[in-house]
Structure 1
Amino acid sequence: MPRERNVKLKRLLLTYGYTHQDLADEVNRVAEVLYGKPASCTDRHVRRWISGEVRWPWARYLLPLQEIFGCAPEAMGFVPRGKWSRPVQPPAKPRVDRKGTVQRREFVAVGLTAALGIEAIPTVGRLGTSDAERIRNLVPALYVHDHALGGGALHIVAVEALARVHEALNLCSYGPRVERLLYSAAGDLAASAGWFAYDAGDQAGATDLYREALQSAMLAGDGALQARVWSNLAMQARLMHRDQEALRIGRAAVETRQAKDDPWLMALLHCRQAVGHARLGERGRSERSLSRAETAYEKTSGAPSPWLSFLTSAEITGLAGAAHQALGQHRRAEELTASALDQLEPRFERNRVYYTLQRAQVLLGCGEVEAAVAQARHAMGITGNVQSVRVRDKLASLRDSIGRYQTRVAREFCEQTREAE
């Protein structure tokens, strides 16, 4: 049976901000609490778990891992093998104090929760328009951080804020007009939380949040919010390789009155449809969608909705590059992606990493292996605090593609970046 990488464990490391050595150290610390002595875990053990070489760790490692991540072995991607894989009960020791666990994502979340004033949302009394506005103002504040950090930390913050909003909706009183405003604001927050979960790699969580956002949109009579959620659902379907479904959902969003009245939204929808058509090899339809996106973008004025603040000319150009890449037009895709990077503002750190990786991919498609490796190295160098599983998965996919080339530069890159697996 071919070896299968443990993607779930890899994502847990990314989610909690662990390196291989960090996790090994934490396993040893937790094991000492459970057993009275450390487990002698090393970074090599962690690499073997992630590579799939070891599909079910020994109990002295497995139990600490369950304490660290708070989930069952199967949820960590481990595969049982016969009677020796039966769950083992921990020794009669006090449970581990997980406050000492290195959880960088949660650390960031705590700081953002305090900074955004989520605790100030009232959960008693009567709510007015100012309270609905306070909730809606959380979204632009969150997106400022999303452009730099990615969805990892923000998922936690947005879900916590949403729980607070639900308390307010359930426990407070308000009139019909304020009710619509509250549901619209709550739906906006749920849609944002869904996007952050999508970017953090939690597709099940994203789907639940998008459903909640759609329900709120219906209760509020907010068609623009509904079109936005459909757009995000289409993007998620594409990520999961359901391209026909993605196009159908995107088409429904394009046909809404709200999308037709908002050139910002229409430009984005047509760009994403262009990528969808390209992935199915529909060159003519893809090119027509790109043309419609450009026409819509030329009609934009003023400032877009906060969630659309990423939609600049750089993003339009980058998505056009993605469409040409999917069509196999690598030279044109490289030109467009390079142009997008030149236009991109410094605040879009996550997107800069993403499009740098896209440029590396299209250069590889052009057969320019050395140039592709140079871009891949650059992307790794600017990743910084970005917490986006989408970006990390794109890097992993690129590394696998580079590994298929038997040049010295490709081999050196794969060897030097092995720790990033």
Structure 2
Amino acid sequence: MTHANCPRCGGRLARDNDSGRCAPCQAAERDRLSTPPVVPAGFWEHGPVRRALAERHLGRVIRAYRCHPYHGRAALPQTVVAGWLGITQAQLSRVENGPPLVHLDRLTHWSRLLQVPPRFLWFSLPGPSVKVAEHDVVPAEEAGPTGPPAQPDAYIAASSQGGGTTDRRQFHALAALAGIAATGSLDLLAAPHNTARNIGMEQVRAVGSLVDEFRRADAAVGANQLCGLAIRMHAQLSEWAAKAIYRPEVGEALQATLADLAIETAWLTIDANRRPEARAYLNEAITRARFSDDPRMEVRAFAYLALLTREDRPGESLHAVEAALRSSAGWGTPRLATLLHLRAARTYATLNDMSGFHRAMSRAQREFERGASEDDMPFLHFVTAQEVKGIEGLAYLALDRPERAADAFRTITENPSPVLRRNHIYYSVQLADAAHRHGNLDEAAHTAINLLPDIGQVNSGRVSLHLAQLRTSLGQPQRATTATRRFLEAYDQAVHA
């Protein structure tokens, strides 16, 4: 054999060294099975890596990363890299050889895990926030290289040029969505009939990024400001996609992304207390998921269908849960199973089936204790310990056990999530309701008063409805206390402000 240099440190290799790495470098990377190595800056200038980055295909970037000569004569095995990413070897093979990823959450997580320099990426990584409108926050780095996003008035002008009618408030909500201007999907919203009829992966990625940003904004500001905008976006993009031309592989990704958009729109109509509108979006999502052979999206649609039909059609709700569990068998994560069993537990409580509730709740808690997975779908971010307790509390309310419900809701309010602000407010309203039902009027009034400043910032139709109902209940003269009178005065002042 001839002498060669170690590609990692440049040191001379012995004649009998057939590993492609010197002994010190091999020793320095014995932990590579658990974490990616720290690579030099020049690593990303390698030809195959640069070409994969230019193609905007993270799967090909990962393959070029594995085969980089920096790692030695033999490429990193897919099993090793899949372990870093939290997926199976078969899943990594599909990522490397299939269509480009379109979900921003996964693009962001994996590129950070591999330490890809941001200047080489075709999407912006979330970063520090800057205020753009009252109560609405946008990540500063999402503005892109050409400057900050356009102001809401510019959005309104763009919309009117496209022939749409959207009021100023909706576009203030649009300005609150992080990174929309940078994704390029704003052009699709403003004037879809002027958009090229040929759809490529770049447009699909733009729509996927927009859906991700709606999901983030919903967790922060609630559905009231976002629902109308999502409905308009869904209608325009669906019409645009129906008339466009695209390759088969683009078509599958497009159908999956539009299914994701339909599901997000359905959820926003539910949270904005416009439930009758949600069914059509979920039916569409199931159809599109089947067109694209995407069981993950189909299961997500079933999970929301279980939520939507719980009160009016509890039997159908349980069937939706069972369908989701069947479809996810073999690949579903513990967090997904947790959510599905929580949906079932809440439905059994609606049916006043105490044994069914306890059985489903125990399954949900066992699955939750198994922990999170890197393969969790992005929408599962809200399945936290607080959510498990919250569903338990809602079930106890349905079972007419307000004292048990209040205990569960207090656990949430005493340990609030810094991210899921809307959910914290929702369960705080439920605590006030449970305390009222249990006869603790002062606790109900104090809890509700403390919520009033937040209600104006996080707009959810469900929250507003529950609070209005609580005001009616506490407003009965025979139940008046000093605390309830203070709440009534503060509530009426806030509503009429």
User: How high is the TM-score relative to the length of structure 1?
Assistant: 0.69
Alpha-carbon RMSD across the aligned residues, in angstroms, is 2.7
Gaps of 5+ in 1: 1-98
1:279 alignment partner, one of 347, 350, 355: 350
- Asked if 1:118 is matched to 2:156, the reply is no
Rounded to whole Å, the distance in 1 between the matches of 2:431 and 2:182 is: 36
Q: Does the C-alpha gap of structure 1 residues 125 and 381 become closer, same or farther in structure 2, counting only changes over 3 Å? A: closer
Q: Deviations over 1:122-162 (max 9, x none)?
A: 83254333432332222221111101111122223323433
Shift, 1:364, TM fit: 1.7
- Match for residue 257 of structure 1? 328
* Counterpart residue number, 2:97: none
Correspondence for 1:293: 364
* CA distance 1:205–1:226, change in 2 (3 Å): same
Measured after TM superposition, the shift of residue 103 of structure 1 is: 5.5
1:146 and 2:218 are equivalent in the alignment: yes
SS of residue matched to 1:261: coil
Structure having greater relative contact order (Cα 8 Å, sep ≥ 6): 1
Query: Per-residue deviation at 1:236?
Result: 1.6
Q: 1:368 aligns with which of 437, 440, 456?
A: 440
Report which of the two structures shows the higher radius of gyration computed on alpha carbons: 2
What do residues 373-395 of structure 1 show as CA deviations (whole Å, max 9, x unaligned)?
11111122221321211111111
Contact preservation (8 Å) 2:333, 2:375: no
1:151/1:388 contact within 8 Å kept? yes
Identity across the alignment (%): 29
CA distance in structure 1 between the partners assigned to 2:321 and 2:472 by the alignment: 31
- Structure 1 pair 284/374, CA: closer, same or farther in 2 (3 Å)? same
Look up the match of 1:183.
255
What SS does the aligned partner of 2:479 have? coil
Indicate which of 311, 336, 339 corresponds to 1:268.
339
1:400 corresponds, among 472, 484, 497, to 472
* Residues 189-247 of structure 1: CA deviation (Å, up to 9, x unaligned): 111011112211222332222222122112111222122112212212235x4333323
1:215 to 276, 287, 291: 287
Instruction: Decide which structure has greater helix share.
Output: 1
Partners of 1:109 and 1:156 in 2: how far apart? 11
Q: Where does residue 389 of structure 1 map in the other structure?
A: 461
What is the letter of the counterpart of residue 295 of structure 1?
Answer: R
Are the structure 2 counterparts of residues 242 and 400 from structure 1 closer, same or farther at C-alpha, using a change threshold of 3 Å?
Answer: farther
Give runs of aligned pairs for residues 129-140 of structure 1, distance below 5 A. 129-140=201-212
The 1:115–1:161 alpha-carbon spacing in structure 2 relative to 1, beyond 3 Å, is: farther
Please say if residues 106 and 156 of structure 1, whose CA atoms lie closer than 8 Å, have aligned partners that are also in contact: no
Give the 4+ runs in structure 1 shifted more than 6 A. none
Tell me the equivalent position of 1:231: 303
Partner Cα separation in structure 1 for residue 182 and residue 469 of structure 2:
36
Which letter maps to 1:283?
A: M
Change (3 A) 1:356 1:109: same
Q: Which residue is equivalent to 1:413?
A: 487
Once residues 140 and 278 of structure 1 are traced to their aligned partners in structure 2, the CA distance between those partners, rounded to angstroms, is 32
CA distance in 2, matches of 1:389, 1:267: 26
322-331 vs 363-372, which moves further: 322-331
Compute the TM-score of the two structures, normalised by the length of structure 2: 0.59
What pairs up with 1:9-408 in 2 under 5 angstroms? Answer: 104-109=169-174, 112=177, 114=181, 117-121=184-188, 123-124=195-196, 126-239=198-311, 241-257=312-328, 261-299=332-370, 300-302=372-374, 304-404=376-476, 406-408=479-481
Q: Name the aligned partner's letter for residue 348 of structure 2.
A: H
The equivalent of 1:96 in structure 2 is none
| AA of the residue aligned to 1:347 | V
Over residues 263-288 of structure 1, what are the superposed CA-to-partner deviations in whole Å (9 max), with x where a residue is unaligned? 22211111121111112211111011
Letter of the 2:392 counterpart: A
- Partner SS, residue 290 of structure 2: helix
5+ residue gaps, structure 2: 1-164
- Flag the 1:259–1:251 CA change in 2: closer, same or farther, 3 A: farther
CA gap 1:399/1:284 in 2 versus in 1, 3 angstroms? same
Equivalent-residue separation in structure 2 for 1:132 and 1:138 (angstroms): 10
